[in-house]
Structure 1
Amino acid sequence: MPRTQLPVDNSPQPVEKSGFFIALLSLHGLIRGHELELGRDADTGGQTKYVVELAKALGEREDVRQVVLLTRKVVDPRVSPDYAEDIEVLSDKVQIVRIACGEPGYLRKELLWDSLDAFCDNTLAYFQKTTGLPDILHSHYADAGYVGARLSRQTGVPLVHTGHSLGRGKRKQLLASGVDPAELEQTYQISRRIDVEEDTLSVAVRVITSTRQEVEQQYAMYDFYQPERMRVVPPGTDLQAFHPPVPKAQRRPPAIAKELERFLRDPSKPIILALARPDPKKNLIRLVQAYGESEALQAAANLVLIAGNREDVADDKAVSGQVHGELLLAIDKYDLYGKVAYPKHHLPADVADLYRLGAATGGVFVNPALTEPFGLTLIEAAACGLPTVATQDGGPVEILANCCNGYLIDPLDSQDMTTKLLHVLEDRLNWQRMSKKGIEGVRKHYSWEAHVARYLEVIRPLAEKTEPMATFTKGRKPSRFRQRALFTSLDLNLTGDAASLAVLIQRIQSERKSLLFGVATGRHLDDALGELRRHGIPEPDVLITHQGTQIHYAPGLNRDTAWEQHIEHHWNPAEVRRLLAGYPGLTPQSREQQSRLKISYIVDPTVADVAAIRQTLLRGEQDVNVVFSFGQFLDVIPTRASKGLAVRWCAGRLGFQLDRTLVAGVTAADADMLRGNTLGAVITSQHPDELAGMSGADNIYYSHSQFADGILESMAHYGF
């Protein structure tokens, strides 16, 4: 029998897809594939550069089929028409796709919230009409997180999220800078942002961060924090911009080299390079002190300080001006003229040249910061072949472990800093080994190729659906977040008994989402941090130092400059010093114990009477707060300042209730923390008389135990 002829199927056949289709979401700011307008405003910063570079780098991978970077379409005569183009092709596999989102004009990110649902609908329509659904959605920042979470719920496409910055941390930064809490809501809509971040974390199956510290100190503060979903993927570095020096015969001095030569007696010496913004927590003063106190360091190298750009230091009343002034005074104190270069200005393009100049001279890069969440400058320096010495806090620990090109230091130990710098500078073979290791380490761990390889490892199981997409099972309890607060002094409270302290620390850590932890001390910031680290005490959410004249917020020790502006009212330190100069039984403490808003003395109580000292200042028309503690220390601070007033300022800024705040004190310096509506606890100590007069006050509990045991006893008494 003849065979039956089967009909030929001429219909389109499905094409087998190979590689991943990834959709990146980054809504705010101005995004294009060339000449990014970095720094144009607060919305056009590092994130815009990162997402464009990520899209390009993903497009170079064979296992990636397609990449679309979805952003907001902007039609506005104030900006380039580039941002109104629907499609911008970056390569044969990569496009920027601009989606309509409400008002077409260029708006700051805080004004986009009510338009994001329209962006979601338009994005889904785009997928349906063109490419089909992607394998992965990756949202960047909170606004894109809102869109990504909504689209993921609608389509089932796995959501990966990168926060870049988080609302809870941003809230503290803005409060510290002086922004009023009401303005935070009106201008920045911060509560709405935090709620969106919580929702995004409940949906995202992976959250990508730059460092482990970011996970533990920032994301852990969220109700929907799920540590099993967090992945650390260090960002990529532009190795075309940051590369080792060319051979000497081909080398021409960069423009910044001539600027440094104006300062240096012998410009050919190796360079100790520090590059940081003028902020006290960057710890540049201690670096100058270490250099000034070491003849060996001065003989081995010049010191180059790049601390932002400055104009007239005398006119700069901000914290940056204070730092610049202190640096200049320290240079003068140690007579470092001809050995320290401290240029007023530099350009962004000079940064890579500075690293290469340091490498060409056989120098070292130093990051002495008190806290360093990531440490991009360390990676840039290593890429240029410059060995590094860096703080043992945060990101540098991971970076130096990967690059093996330097040493970690205790940023509060000047001798440790000096010793490690000399280790690098004086052993030439070791220097060459570390220089080579740094270059190799950056290429292996921090190049864009390395970043994308690790990134794809993270998303591959999700895109290939070889890993189940677990749902979040815990119910959110937003009302529990930081309802209570614990503030304690440092000496003789947290310190004194290691065993009970360990129990207290465990208790605080276990309740970190619902309990705000604060430390209030008379010590200066460096000294207080040293004590906290020495005793293994975690960084508090609020650190009040200098007898209540400085407030710092975690993460990152953000300094509350608004508080300092508030308390400076009618403060006249020069007149205070004049009135107390030569006062019998009164000796000024060391310069390190003084600050702009605190004048400190040691008192001989057999000679000087504290009440009489107060009267002397009052007769001199100085309305100040005089604090006497530990039977020998006397601090004169502005009348608006004290530990107790600082706690109350924080309550107003951060929103915790005083009647749910336990305050533990030991000495008279803690007295006004204990008064009022707080839940006061006087911890038994060797100075029982200083707070004995408060025994009749309401809400004051006297513990039977000492040290941290006394705090735990007080917590039990108040039902904490």
Structure 2
Amino acid sequence: MHELVQTILNSEEKTALRHLIKTLSALDQRYFLRNEILHVFAEYCQNSEKPGYFFHSSSVGKLIHYTHEMIVEGEITWFILRPRIGSQEVWRLGANMTSFEQMTPEALLDARDHLVNRSQSQILKIDFSPYYHGYPRINDPRNIGQGLGFLNRHLCGQVLTDPEYWLEVLFDVFHRHSYDGIPLLINGRIDSGKQLAKQLKQALNFLNERPQGEPYEKFRFDLQELGFEPGWGNTASRVRETLELLNRLIDTAEPAILETFVSRVPTVFRVVLVSIHGWVSQEGVLGRPETTGQVIYVLEQARHLENKLQEEIKLAGLDVLGIQPQVIILTRLIPNCEGTLCNLRLEKVEGTQNAWILRVPFAGSNPNVTQNWISRYEIWPYLERFALDAETELLAQFRGSPDLIIGNYSDGNLVAFLLARRLKVTQCNIAHSLEKPKHLFSNLYWHDLEDKYHFSAQYTADLIGMNGADFIITSTYQEIVGTPDTRGQYESYKCFTMPQLYHVVDGIDLFSPKFNMIPPGVNEHIFFPSNQKQDRDITVSRTVEDLLFTREDPQILGHLENQSKRPIFAVGAMTAIDNLAGLAECFGKSQELQQSCNLIIVADKLHPHQATNSKETEEIERLHNIINEYNLHGHIRWVGMQIPIAELGEAYRIIADFQGIFVHFARFEAFGRTILEAMSSGLPTFATQFGGSLEIIENGEDGFLLNPTDLEGTAKTILSFIDQCNAYLEHWYKISELVIQRVRNKYNWQSHTKQLLLLAKIYSFWKFVNQEVSEAKAGYVETLFYLLYKPRAEKILEQHMQR
């Protein structure tokens, strides 16, 4: 990078760099982001009539494209460069462009503090880098998020390096493995790794003489004489295959063999899914509008986890011991539950045998707050006590300790860490959508936002949750490290400042193998194609069609003059991020779209008085104003109510009956649950290019990506598809079938839960063999909890006590 800048400073391109800095300096700000920098540089190239290559390929052009942020501080200019995904460099250009030197992250954080006039000479520094030194590390950014495969290769390499040591480790793991005191896999007749290898060969010789389909019960006691307890399989062939895999693993360790073997070994029986603030219930409510996706996710995950665990237990032959899996969704009990079941301690998850919602109240002396629903911004003072109370409830409900604890969102991941730390079990972190990257500069100006959002507690909780976890699940690659042009959600925690509170010098190792991409699935019983006529309820279908097209209701705005037009369908919340008003504006500005289509929006609210905050009020009023400004009456329907999930599934199918399309016009989307629902229902889908939809949709192949800031370009993209459908009657059906197959092949819960359990087993083993390193990091994380998190939470509690 230094050579690149020296080339610029020693050439005529120095003029372009000087002009860029001068232009930025003249603006009424000192901190500039990538888009602003590129815009100013593009204007310079155009006004100076530079040749086409200059913008991208000149030395100064390359520097500008590497630059993601700039700080102009008097005669000093800071460049925050991102030369490759997951990496950052900080450079400072001196006065009169005479020096260019690389700076430390600490120097950048000091500069940011100075920028907002909150600098101080001494501040707490958080640096996790020493605690990742004992871990293997991914080198190629393209492999970030593929931790399981990397760790398997690493473990196999270790086995080949020192096979005798790893044989003893395997013996130790098997020897310790039990269920409620009942030994599994091996017994006391095997007392070392060497003896395990010896007895393994005898067991294989014995099994080779048994009929393949012979049930395990018939030769169970023969295997016990050889030292092998239940858990290897339910038939002679299954047990033989599993033991052969172990034998091959001992002789020649290969990643595929390790993965197959581990997937067969039953080590997970009891699972906790922590989802606290989401208003978790089933009858008549699926979370609040802001948490619907979270609740749907954990309920579906619980159902499919139980199914997968039952399958594994049966195949392992453990049903002879009467072992049954248990899955608990841990959430909070809400006394003032507004007519829902959220005040019940225990609720069975529909469609399961032994999966439950366990609700634990927020105990304490502040019932005016704790007996009601509490938003994710206010929940922090009650989580430590909740974790302690939940531990007691879980142990009683399970009659033992869980094997895996999975956190959801910032609050759930903090509680998952506290529980896993006390119970000494494996912890998984799932964030779905981290709050920090949604609020630009929120860490810099946290003082000003603290009373409303309490970001100091939340961002500290995020650091604790993600670093305390044994493994992290994301739905997409970009959640971790973004794209070449944008930072990832986890990447935003790598290096940042909370002025006058702390500096995060290194907040997370993005190249750690703890990151794994496992996208969720879709409920195929609710979201299925419209041509599956036998599965559709005609009564529900008529009700939903009436709701979308004709019903008059105080919560519905608009009528459609021509209902035969192709419908554009959108579902979302009334937030600026979901950008439903932006879609209406795009529709309003295009006469061609209005001539060809109707716009049907299903949102959670219709009237400003229903809003729960000022931002929501603004967005509702904005949509009303757009409808009036562009005179969309007769072309738009706005259904302002949260409809049951079964009816939502039918809504997608009815839009498909009319050969409509689904548009997700969000300014940013962490993943895109509604995108998957629409595609699974067979709707050609148009989605924002910002976020996880980049990885769901193959643009132009099985869907279309949109820039929500480009209204004219969006209209052209949609109209081009509609023109093709009008010209070729089969085109709509072709795209419909492609989106259905895309979801079925890649986004299904069976694959998700299979991978999740495999991760739990591998990372539990990895944690066992790296106890010293794991304990050191966990101790550091725990220190942050007591040193930083608790004081911030106590300040929030003081505010609550005054209510």
TM-score of the pair, normalised by structure 2: 0.49
**1:330 offset after TM fit, Å?**
4.4
- Which residue in the other structure is 1:572 paired with? none
C-alpha distance in structure 2 between counterparts of 1:75 and 1:418, whole Å: 45
Matches within 5 A, 1:424-573: 424-427=721-724, 428-463=729-764, 471=774
Alpha-carbon separation, structure 2, partners of 1:343 and 1:63: 44
Matched, 1:139 2:415: no
Aligned with 1:112: secondary structure?
helix
For 1:325 and 1:193, locate their aligned partners in 2 and report how far apart those are by CA, in whole Å.
30
**RCO higher in structure (CA 8 A, sep ≥6):** 2
Cα distance 1:135–1:417, how it changes in 2: closer, same or farther (>3 A)? same
2:570 matches 1:274: yes
CA offset at residue 57 of structure 1?
A: 0.8
CA distance in 1, matches of 2:712, 2:361: 58
1:56 counterpart residue number: 303
Q: Answer yes or no: is 1:195 the counterpart of 2:460.
A: yes
> Match of 1:160, SS?
strand
AA aligned opposite 1:356:
R
- Paired residues for 1:103-502 under 5 Å: 103=364, 106=371, 108=374, 109-116=379-386, 118-119=388-389, 122=392, 126=396, 132-154=400-422, 156-164=424-432, 166=434, 168=436, 181=449, 183-184=451-452, 190-216=455-481, 217-222=488-493, 223-227=506-510, 228=512, 229-246=514-531, 252-253=541-542, 254-259=545-550, 263-284=559-580, 287-311=583-607, 318-332=614-628, 334-343=630-639, 347-348=643-644, 351-401=648-698, 404-427=701-724, 428-463=729-764, 471=774
- Find the residue that maps to 1:122 and give its secondary structure: helix
Give the letter for the 1:257 counterpart: L
Aligned with 2:705: secondary structure? strand
CA distance in 1, matches of 2:781, 2:288: 39
Q: 1:94 to 1:298 in 2, by over 3 A?
A: closer
User: Aligned with 2:559: secondary structure?
Assistant: coil
Q: CA, structure 1 residues 179+234, in 2 after alignment: closer, same or farther (shift >3 Å)?
A: farther
Q: Is the 8 A contact 2:649 2:681 kept in 1?
A: yes
Alignment-derived partner of residue 96 in structure 2: none
Q: How far apart in 2 are the matches of 1:308 and 1:151?
A: 35
1:69 maps to what in 2?
A: 328
Indicate the residue corresponding to 1:35 in structure 2: 283
The answer to whether the Cα contact below 8 Å between 2:303 and 2:349 also exists between their aligned partners in 1 is no
C-alpha deviation, 1:160, in angstroms: 1.1
Give the Å deviation of 1:194. Answer: 3.5
- Residue 148 of structure 1 aligns with an amino acid whose one-letter code is A
Question: Mean Cα displacement is larger for which, 389-398 or 437-446?
Answer: 437-446
SS at match of 1:378: helix
Letter in 1 for 2:562: D
d(CA) in 2 for partners of 1:21, 1:331:
54
Q: Check the 8 A contact 2:567/2:600 in 1, yes or no.
A: yes
**What is the DSSP-based 3-state SS (H/G/I as helix, E as strand, rest coil) of the residue aligned with 1:138?**
strand
1:117 deviates by 5.7
- Is the partner of 1:268 in helix, strand or coil? coil
Residue of structure 2 in register with 1:585 after alignment: none
Q: Distance in 1 between matches of 2:662 and 2:490?
A: 30
Mapping 1:7-22, distance limit 5 Å:
15-16=230-231, 19=266, 20-22=268-270
**Mapped partners of 2:460, 2:334: distance in 1:** 29
User: What is the letter of the counterpart of residue 663 of structure 2?
Assistant: V
Structure 2 Cα separation of the partners of residues 313 and 70 of structure 1:
34
Paired position in structure 2 for 1:489:
none
CA distance in 2, matches of 1:173, 1:351: 36
- Tell me the amino acid that sits aligned with residue 243 of structure 1: F
Aligned to 1:24: 272
Decide whether the 8 Å contact of 2:446 with 2:455 is kept in 1. no
Offset of residue 313 of structure 1: 8.9
With over 3 angstroms needed to count, the CA separation of the structure-2 counterparts of 1:337 and 1:141, relative to structure 1, is closer
Say which SS state the counterpart of residue 328 (structure 2) adopts: strand
- Tell me, what secondary structure is at the counterpart of 1:237? coil
Task: Please give the secondary structure, in 2, of the residue aligned with 1:374.
Answer: coil
Matched residue type, 1:418: A
After superposing the two structures, state which structure 1 stretch, 162-171 or 390-399, moved more. 162-171
Contact 1:66-1:93 within 8 A present in 2 as well: yes
Q: 1:231 to 1:330 in 2, by over 3 A?
A: same
Per mean C-alpha deviation after superposition, the further-off stretch among 411-420 and 308-317 is 308-317
Length-normalised TM-score, structure 1: 0.54
| Cα deviation digits, residues 123-164 of structure 1 (max 9, x gap) | 68549xx65544433233444434433454455432211234
Gaps of 5+ in 1: 1-7, 481-720
Partner of 2:258: none
- Which residue identity is paired with 2:731? N
Instruction: Return the offset for 1:447.
Output: 3.1
Give 3-state SS (helix, strand or coil) of 2:634's partner: coil
Name stretches of at least 5 consecutive residues in structure 2 with no aligned partner: 1-221, 233-264, 314-323, 482-487, 494-505, 553-557, 785-803
Task: Report if aligned partners of 2:559, 2:637 keep a CA contact under 8 Å in 1.
Answer: yes
Aligned-pair distance for 1:435?
Answer: 0.6
CA distance in 2, matches of 1:257, 1:287: 18
Tell me which amino acid in the other structure corresponds to 1:271.
P
When residues 86 and 306 of structure 1 are mapped into structure 2, their CA distance, relative to the original with a 3 A threshold, is: closer
What is the distance in 2 between the residues matched to 1:317 and 1:194?
22
How many Å separate the matches in 2 of 1:274 and 1:41?
Answer: 15
User: Would you say the 8 A contact 2:675–2:685 is kept in 1?
Assistant: yes
Give deviations 1:58-85, integer Å, cap 9, x for gaps. Answer: 1111126623316368595868888555
**Is the 2:436–2:442 Cα contact (8 Å) retained in structure 1?**
no
How many percent of aligned residue pairs carry the same amino acid?
25
Q: Is the contact between residue 520 and residue 752 of structure 2 (CA under 8 Å) also seen in structure 1?
A: yes
- CA shift for structure 1 position 37: 4.0
Shift in alpha-carbon separation, 1:145–1:410, aligned structure 2, 3 A: closer
**In structure 2, how many angstroms separate the alpha carbons of the residues matched to 1:81 and 1:274?**
30
Change in 2 beyond 3 A, CA 1:322/1:398: same
2:157 alignment partner in structure 1: none
Secondary structure of 2:643's match? coil
Deviates more, 1:32-41 or 1:201-210: 32-41
**Is the 8 Å Cα contact of residues 369 and 391 (structure 1) preserved in structure 2?**
yes
Contact 2:299 2:349 (C-alpha < 8 Å) held by counterparts: no
Q: Number of residue pairs matched?
A: 466
Structure 1 residue matching 2:606: 3-state secondary structure: coil
Check the 8 A contact 2:570/2:602 in 1, yes or no: yes
Distance 1:191 1:457 in 2: 35
Once residues 293 and 366 of structure 1 are traced to their aligned partners in structure 2, the CA distance between those partners, rounded to angstroms, is 16
Cα drift, residue 322 of structure 1:
4.6
Q: Would the aligned equivalents of 2:406 and 2:430 in 1 still touch at CA under 8 Å?
A: yes
The CA deviation string for residues 364-386 of structure 1, in whole angstroms up to 9 with x for no partner, is 11223332222222112112211
CA distance in structure 2 between the aligned counterparts of 1:179 and 1:348, rounded to whole angstroms: 40
